[in-house]
Structure 1
Amino acid sequence: MSALRNVGRVHRSTTAFLLCDIQERFRSLIWQYPSVIATAQKMVASHKILDVPLIVTEHYPKAFGLTVPEIDVSSAKVNLSKTKFSMYIPEVKKELKGVKSVVLFGIESHVCVLQTALDLLEDNIDVHVLADGVSSINQSEVEVALNRIKAAGGYVTTSESILFQLVGDATDEKFKAISKLVKETQESTANNKLFTFKSNI
């Protein structure tokens, strides 16, 4: 009998959203930062609809500021400051007890996002990185980082795809609200320039 294949299914009861370091200081530095912010806004809105916990970090906020005001993180399970590049600090690990998969978005793709993904994967937690929700100062770093995460066993997906995976069925009680959110964010999704990922593996 062959071993069961891990296809990266996500379920609302065992999934968490991780918002990584979308802070004010980076506003003029990150490639396509408005698209990163727009995707994060969509995911924060969906976390409230789907009752999926949201975990937020801010990297050394004394230097880089707080999460940009366009993103309301007041409903986050925790909002933690950190100096380690990876979000997977002890306080976050504690909050992820019982979580089997995370949806990861934020900055920078090749630093904090990548190191967070690798730490989570090493701890047997599936990682779904949003290609329309991560970026870096240098555009070329993004694709390299996403390929690195994919090679390590992570999944590269999009915000809209992951939301419909979490709903799973048009008869689900959350479907109408998620469908409405997707329609409301259709323009920002269409204008998102972060969809440049090409798998090299």
Structure 2
Amino acid sequence: MTTPSSDSPNSAAATTDAALADTLLMCVDMQPVFVRAVAEGTSIQKRCAFALAAARGLGMPIIFTEQVPDKLGATDPALRALAPDAPVYPKRTFSVLADAATRDAILADGKVQHLLLCGIETSVCVYQTALAAREHGLEVTILSDAVSARRPDDARACLEALARAGVHVLPSETIFYAVLHDVKHPFFKAYTQLVKAAS
């Protein structure tokens, strides 16, 4: 779990206009075989669970991806249970958007303008998916506390490179508070309970 250096161009202000109508949370390859392999896997799993619970509570669209699930297994069942109706996209490419059918399913109607990414691995699938999404004109935010890699130094370098490429790299709590805007939001009290439970 790493974040860019303090001189990163990202700031909380960059995504305070996050809107539910055009924002999608993509949970990338949270399969047990990968969770066990990355640094702080258990912590990342908990932070992904937090992000999924927050997104679901807000009514934000959610999708899961799985890398070669027929060989590497499905998404962790506890995470799937947090968004049981969310579509799951199996893949063999590293970038989720490299597969034309998957890309069209996610982007064809033009509704998605802002992509939130959590999952693994920061230096492979998350990195390539974030860059591809930027190439397709999307705003992209990496939930910095909900991504990881086998080598923390690799993850850090990739997050810094993504920040330079215009990707926002911010903690999940910050992003969801930005979506709420203020304490009058109907999900605010439930969200603060999620925050406390995850602390």
TM-score, length-scaled by structure 1: 0.85
Aligned CA-pair RMSD: 1.6
- Structure 2, unmatched stretches of 5+, are 1-12
Deviations 1:103-154 (A, max 9, x none): 1011111110000000000111011001101111112111011011111110
1:178 has 2:191 as partner = yes
Deviations 1:155-192 (A, max 9, x none): 00011001101111111111111111111111xxxxxx
Q: CA deviation at 1:76?
A: 4.4
Greater RCO, 1 or 2 (C-alpha within 8 Å, sep 6+): 2
Secondary structure of the structure 2 residue equivalent to 1:71: helix
Higher helix share: 2
Which amino acid is the alignment partner of residue 143 of structure 1?
Answer: R
- Structure 1, unmatched stretches of 5+, are 1-5, 187-201
Residue of structure 1 equivalent to 2:64: 56
1:128 has 2:141 as partner = yes
TM-score, length-scaled by structure 2: 0.85
- The runs of at least 4 aligned residues of structure 1 exceeding 6 Å deviation read none
Residue of structure 2 equivalent to 1:31: 39
Corresponding residue to 2:93 among 80, 84, 103: 84
Which amino acid is the alignment partner of residue 84 of structure 1?
Answer: T
Distance 1:56 1:66 in 2: 10
Secondary structure of the structure 1 residue equivalent to 2:14: coil
Residue of structure 2 equivalent to 1:7: 14
CA contact (8 A) 1:53 1:76 kept: no
What is the count of residue pairs matched by the alignment? Answer: 181
CA contact (8 A) 2:143 2:169 kept: yes
Secondary structure of the structure 2 residue equivalent to 1:70: helix
CA contact (8 A) 2:35 2:45 kept: no
Q: How do 1:146-157 and structure 2 match up within 5 A?
A: 146-157=159-170
Q: 1:93 to 1:157 in 2, by over 3 A?
A: farther
Q: 1:95 to 1:31 in 2, by over 3 A?
A: same
